[in-house]
Amino acid sequence: MIRDIEPLTVEAFGPFGDVIEATPSAQNFSINYGNTHRFHDLAKVDVNNGGGRAGISIFRSTPLPMPISIRLLERHPLSSQAFFPLSPHPYLVVVAPPGDLDEKAIRVFLVQPGQGVNYHPGTWHHFCLALEAESDFLVVDRIGQGNNCDEFLLKTPFSIELQ
């Protein structure tokens, strides 16, 4: 089974989280005496549950072989998790709504360089799926104690094949 691949848009990704992108539709204004333009507060960072705090990390992700086999999703019940690409390569985002995992509701997004995503707490997602080459991502997530990662093995694994 091959899933449809959608472009990432704010509307399509809304049930899962935020799109982090410097677009005119984002709240934006000039600061620093006109020398900087601030695209403001682009993601709902939610990391303080259970004594957590925000951390900044870098993920270095290796592309999986094509076709990409999707067998497992994860979720962070206590917190959001934001990814922003630091490498000039697209990547894939595979998500499903929070709650009991409905495999029929899984969506696959092709994300372009310059676009980040922030998974809201509980959103099911696949781990980082770099494309084309090893890719770095800046990650803002929760640092703290307690179980904050559930994994779910799909009953119906599927493949993604990019043209």
Binding site for its own copies (CB under 8 A): 20-22, 31-33, 35-43, 45, 47-48, 53-62, 64, 82, 84, 86, 114, 116, 118, 127-128, 136, 138-140, 143
Q: Tell me the two tokens of residue 14.
A: 């809304």
Shortest separation between residue 161's beta carbon and its own copies, angstroms: 18
Cβ closest to its own copies, residue 82 vs residue 93:
82
Cβ closest to its own copies, residue 51 vs residue 99:
51
Shortest separation between residue 47's beta carbon and its own copies, angstroms: 7
Q: CA of 80: how far to CAs of 41, 109, 145, 153, in Å?
A: 14, 18, 15, 21
Pairing verdict, β 53-61 and 36-39 = unpaired
Shortest separation between residue 22's beta carbon and its own copies, angstroms: 4
Using CA atoms of 17, 22, 26, 27 in order, give the dihedral in degrees to the nearest 10. 120
Shortest separation between residue 26's beta carbon and its own copies, angstroms: 8
Query: Buried b / exposed e across 93-104, counting CB within 10 Å, b at 16+?
Result: bbbbbbeebeee
